Structure 1
Amino acid sequence: MGIFSLQEDRPTPKAVYNVRVYTCATVAAFCAVMIGYDSAFIGGTLALTSFKTEFNWKQYSSHQAAIISENIVSLYQAGAFFGALGAYAAGHYLGRKKGLQVFSATFILGAGLMLGANGSRGLGLLYAGRVLAGLGVGGASNLTPIYISELAPPAIRGRLVGLYEMGWQIGGVVGYWINYGVSTTMKPSRSQWIIPFAVQLIPAGLMFIGLFFIKESPRWLMTRNQRRKALKNLCWIRMLPEDDLYMLEEVSAIDAALEQQHATVGLGFWQPFVALWNDRKVSYRFFLGCSLFFWQNTSGINAINYYSPTVFESIGVTGTNASLLTTGVFGLVKAAVTIIWILFLVDNFGRRNLLIYGAFLGGLCLYYIGAYIKIADPTHHPTTNGSLSSGGISAMAFFYLWAVFYTPSWNGTPWVYNSEIFPQNVRTLGQAFAAASNWLFNFLVARFTAQMFTAMGYGVYFFFASLMMCSIVFTFFLLPETKGIPLESMDILFSKELQPRIAHKIVMKQLHDDEEAFRRNVEGSGLGLEKGSKENLAHIEEV
């Protein structure tokens, strides 16, 4: 297979890979721009002298200041945790599209409240705005991967859900460089620190407006008995007529999956909770999805995102501007590698291989950084001219190398994986639990990282590196590969009869055999493969 080759579960018309499906995915992925921007800008903005002057930082001890900074950062994650759980109800009753509109509007309200904070009013509006903005991105982080996976052709599902990760990195780059820009070009003032907060409104506004121009998920509409609208939306997204064989196969697969779920679990609001409790296959996938975000957050990425000045200071980078510049380069590296991940890796190299190799190589990099800090102790033994030593330069090189290995593996792949593995009737609930677990672990990291660096020093890097190595064992023995598998075939992939290491190969062979049998039956019926007359559509679906 070439680098642009796609592993298809069946012959797929080229029209399916069209601008409409990419546009829908891109609009939904703007929520990730909001998330990435926040994770990048907040730590640097809190480090600005103008922000500390505005809120009289001198009145606090270093311990109190660290706790207040952690509160400002972590309230966002706390709100996101509850937003992710609340998105289950929004996704079930309102749908994917309207649910995203509600949560993007909530984020806009929160971002607006933050702009009202100042020294005389105190931090109250900032706290409230952070919670509301967190609710918005938490809900959107649940619904966006679901929405994209439900409209994506299987062969490019990883690439399309990967746009979510690309949005995250674009937001991160903007956030890092906004901080560097205001720090180097503006004198300390209220405008210097308020501008980074105001920029949040741009991606949120673009997403809110763009949502009016895309279609609702056909799969969700089918669950709500809106079949005619679902078929119309699916034809629009696929750019194929309703009687095309590809469309008939896809609709038949959706119908079969819904019939099975209706017979076994049900399609109501509470049935997924019953399935989670009673169906071991479903609960096992919930465990896998939530565990992926445990391993993701314990890799150290969010500790670096939220407290990058502290991280670079531990390596030996001194000065606010130098830290912000170094962080900006870090963001560019991640964004560049994410493009490679989307175009070449996620749908060719596979989810499972990326997680294993990324964890191993990334863990080695963190071990090196920790060893350097242990031996050189740059915080207590700085260089005379304030520049990095040769050892410090090597540590920075390994830090950027860690970003190269981590970004195309554990950064975005857990979101892709979780968007695929759940059955239709529990997909929103499954993604809600997975997204909520991400924000819970994210909250814990954001809340305690500053204290970890104070208490553990170089040990923080050994801690994160060791957990990355442990994630290899988890992935190797428990996670089957999902690339190219239709959503309706995930139950087969995760059946207990198949070992995770070989399940993908077996299911892909079965899908190709079923496809050949289907086409032979259609040919035997005397009907055309590409199109059937309206009166024969029901007969083709029955075949």
Structure 2
Amino acid sequence: MTLLDIKEDRPTPKAVYNWRVYTCAAVASFASCMIGYDSAFIGTTLALPSFTKEFNFASYSPDALALLQANIVSVYQAGAFFGSLFAYCTSYFLGRRKSLLIFASVFILGAGIMLGANDARGVGPILAGRVLAGVGVGGASNMVPIYISELSPPSIRGRLVGIYELGWQIGGLVGFWINYGVNTTLAPTRSQWLIPFAVQLIPGGLLFLGALWIKESPRWLFANGKRQEAMEVLCWLRNLEPTDTYMLEEVRYIDQDLQRYENEVGKGFWRPFLALKQPKVQWRFFLGGMLFLFQNGSGINAINYYSPTVFRSLGITGTNTGFLTTGIFGVVKTVLTVVWILFLVDLVGRRRMLFIGAAGGSLCMWFIGAYIKISGPTSNPTGGSLSSGGIAAIFMFYLWTAFYTPSWNGTPWVVNSEMFDQNTRSLGQASAAANNWFWNFIVSRFTPQMFLKMGYGVYFFFASLMIISIVFVYFFIPETKSIPLEAMDRLFEIKPVSRANRVLMEELKLFDEEFRREVEGEDSDVREKLESV
């Protein structure tokens, strides 16, 4: 084994790992660039001198200003919540690719409206534009993980869905640094704060143009009776002939899964809702929502949206210093996301990374909260220089980032994109994305008030939730790496959860041996082995 070795569910031709599948995933991930940028730039933009002057922040009381900032940030999450639900409708009737075109257009419209804000009009256009932008990113956050998982070979599915997370971090990196750039190079005029808002149009436009080129999801085409087109797309993605054994196996998996759910649930827009009567389906919807509760409960979005507030609580003063510290945070996240994609998500797996991230991240949060409790850096300033305890707290903050980024940052999106069956995948992802944006909204809406009322207790709160998440993952989340999408139902049936992946991989190996013997016309005793398993 090497770091780049791939664990395959069955023998896979090298042609499957080609530029086409990677490029489609990367193009679709322009959606996450716009999500990441929008999530990152707003917190530091609200702290720009030109922005605070334009909208007369000095006239507000501390409580009123905290409420205004919370509203500017959180209406975006509210729009995203509904956008993620709307995406189920567009996905069902129009498919994954056309849905991306629609939501990219809505995002571009919202970003354009924000540019109309000024001191005379007030923040109204920003609030309205962020609602529309939120609808766009919410819909995209539903579609992209599904789209990528449905076109991915199982052995690199985590890596490909991880490109979505990488796009998020690249967008966030630009969002964190752009305000440092305009604050250090431009005069505090309207143009200074308008530029960060205008940059939103770039990833939105790239997604729109890219969605004109990428192929529709082959699994969506199969599910909607467009078999010839589905075969053409699947052969193009796999770079194989339709008669290749690997292609025959994959199509067999898809057909069996579709037939089973047509028999059990049936086709139709409302059928997946009827499937919610089944306890096994309800359980996976619950698990998906809980993963995003714990992701947001780690404190990440409090940091993303209110990084200047977070760093002030650690004793860092000065606008540029705060922006610089925030920018370094973005760099660390982006670098570690690349490491996660290349070496961890498909090699180490989902479960193990969630354990490591939660345990290490919790310890860091306990330390930071204890430092603020003991030293009180905001009430006992040190004249611009950090004490040794403050330096240690900053180090623990970046160490927390190192634990969080390759674990809870992207893994919930990966697991949710792959754990639902074909008939409930779009609705399941809509539920998961809506959960993400709901908890995101709660955190972004109340973080300013939490810092005002709880102080160091905010860090203890996040640390406690990370500890609870370890117990949750151990007992309820099976390892999903290398498992075909059509075998996820079986994975969630196997108990105990800690052994489910190993047991199912052995079953798949035996099934694969049987199928290849059938294709080659040979006799085998594999069926007896399967019955014993």
TM-score band w.r.t. shorter chain: over 0.9
- The answer on 1:408 being equivalent to 2:411 is no
User: Match of 2:486?
Assistant: 488
Separation in structure 1 between the aligned mates of residue 324 and residue 385 of structure 2, nearest angstrom? 14
- The answer on 1:518 being equivalent to 2:515 is yes
1:104-145 CA distance string (max 9 Å, x none): 110000000000111111111111100000000000000000
1:62-102 CA distance string (max 9 Å, x none): 21111011000000000000000110001111100000110
Separation in structure 2 between the aligned mates of residue 55 and residue 380 of structure 1, nearest angstrom? 28
User: Match of 1:314?
Assistant: 313
Separation in structure 2 between the aligned mates of residue 359 and residue 297 of structure 1, nearest angstrom? 12
1:156-179 CA distance string (max 9 Å, x none): 000000001100100111001101
Give matches, 1:127-206, under 5 Å. 127-206=127-206
CA offset at residue 31 of structure 1? 0.9
- Give the secondary structure class of the aligned counterpart of 2:4: coil
- Give the secondary structure class of the aligned counterpart of 2:229: helix
Give matches, 1:74-473, under 5 Å. 74-276=74-276, 278-384=277-383, 386-473=384-471
1:285-310 CA distance string (max 9 Å, x none): 00000110000001000000000000
- Give the secondary structure class of the aligned counterpart of 2:6: coil
Separation in structure 1 between the aligned mates of residue 304 and residue 68 of structure 2, nearest angstrom? 18
Q: Aligned Cα RMSD in Å? A: 0.9
Stretch of structure 1 that moved more, 296-305 or 50-59: 50-59
CA offset at residue 46 of structure 1? 0.6
Q: Name the amino acid aligned to 1:523.
A: E
Paired residues, number: 523
Q: Name the amino acid aligned to 1:436.
A: A
Q: Name the amino acid aligned to 1:182.
A: V
Separation in structure 2 between the aligned mates of residue 518 and residue 229 of structure 1, nearest angstrom? 25
Separation in structure 1 between the aligned mates of residue 223 and residue 511 of structure 2, nearest angstrom? 25
User: Match of 1:539?
Assistant: none
Separation in structure 2 between the aligned mates of residue 75 and residue 126 of structure 1, nearest angstrom? 10
Give matches, 1:13-28, under 5 Å. 13-28=13-28
Separation in structure 2 between the aligned mates of residue 445 and residue 210 of structure 1, nearest angstrom? 32
Separation in structure 2 between the aligned mates of residue 317 and residue 491 of structure 1, nearest angstrom? 50
- Give the secondary structure class of the aligned counterpart of 1:313: helix
Q: Name the amino acid aligned to 1:64.
A: A
- Give the secondary structure class of the aligned counterpart of 1:262: helix
CA offset at residue 524 of structure 1? 2.0
Separation in structure 1 between the aligned mates of residue 496 and residue 522 of structure 2, nearest angstrom? 38
Separation in structure 2 between the aligned mates of residue 171 and residue 448 of structure 1, nearest angstrom? 24
Separation in structure 2 between the aligned mates of residue 285 and residue 360 of structure 1, nearest angstrom? 24
User: Match of 2:34?
Assistant: 34
Normalised by the size of structure 2, how large is the TM-score?
Answer: 0.97
- Give the secondary structure class of the aligned counterpart of 2:116: coil
Separation in structure 1 between the aligned mates of residue 321 and residue 263 of structure 2, nearest angstrom? 61
Separation in structure 1 between the aligned mates of residue 7 and residue 400 of structure 2, nearest angstrom? 29
Among residues 501, 507, 517, which one is paired with 2:504 in the alignment?
A: 507
1:441-482 CA distance string (max 9 Å, x none): 000000000000010101100100010000000000001000
Q: Name the amino acid aligned to 2:16.
A: V
Separation in structure 1 between the aligned mates of residue 504 and residue 286 of structure 2, nearest angstrom? 22
Separation in structure 1 between the aligned mates of residue 238 and residue 112 of structure 2, nearest angstrom? 38
- Give the secondary structure class of the aligned counterpart of 1:87: helix
Separation in structure 2 between the aligned mates of residue 485 and residue 365 of structure 1, nearest angstrom? 33
CA offset at residue 519 of structure 1? 1.2
User: Match of 1:529?
Assistant: none
- Give the secondary structure class of the aligned counterpart of 2:266: coil
CA offset at residue 525 of structure 1? 5.8
Separation in structure 2 between the aligned mates of residue 207 and residue 317 of structure 1, nearest angstrom? 37
- Give the secondary structure class of the aligned counterpart of 2:215: coil
- Give the secondary structure class of the aligned counterpart of 2:212: helix
1:392-440 CA distance string (max 9 Å, x none): 1110000000000000000000000000000000000000000000000
Separation in structure 2 between the aligned mates of residue 522 and residue 272 of structure 1, nearest angstrom? 34
Q: Name the amino acid aligned to 2:135.
A: L
User: Match of 1:540?
Assistant: none
Normalised by the size of structure 1, how large is the TM-score?
Answer: 0.96
CA offset at residue 267 of structure 1? 2.2
User: Match of 1:498?
Assistant: 495
- Give the secondary structure class of the aligned counterpart of 2:29: helix
CA offset at residue 273 of structure 1? 0.4
CA offset at residue 498 of structure 1? 2.2
Q: Name the amino acid aligned to 1:373.
A: I
1:297-328 CA distance string (max 9 Å, x none): 01000000000000000001001110000000
Q: Name the amino acid aligned to 1:46.
A: L
Separation in structure 2 between the aligned mates of residue 453 and residue 123 of structure 1, nearest angstrom? 24
Separation in structure 1 between the aligned mates of residue 428 and residue 118 of structure 2, nearest angstrom? 40
Separation in structure 2 between the aligned mates of residue 523 and residue 406 of structure 1, nearest angstrom? 48
Separation in structure 1 between the aligned mates of residue 122 and residue 313 of structure 2, nearest angstrom? 31
Q: Name the amino acid aligned to 2:520.
A: E
Separation in structure 1 between the aligned mates of residue 150 and residue 496 of structure 2, nearest angstrom? 26
Separation in structure 2 between the aligned mates of residue 457 and residue 126 of structure 1, nearest angstrom? 29
Separation in structure 2 between the aligned mates of residue 219 and residue 180 of structure 1, nearest angstrom? 44
Separation in structure 1 between the aligned mates of residue 58 and residue 507 of structure 2, nearest angstrom? 67
- Give the secondary structure class of the aligned counterpart of 2:219: helix
Runs of 4+ in 1 over 6 A off after TM superposition: none
Separation in structure 1 between the aligned mates of residue 516 and residue 253 of structure 2, nearest angstrom? 15
1:466-501 CA distance string (max 9 Å, x none): 100000000000010000000000010011x42211
Q: Name the amino acid aligned to 2:398.
A: Y
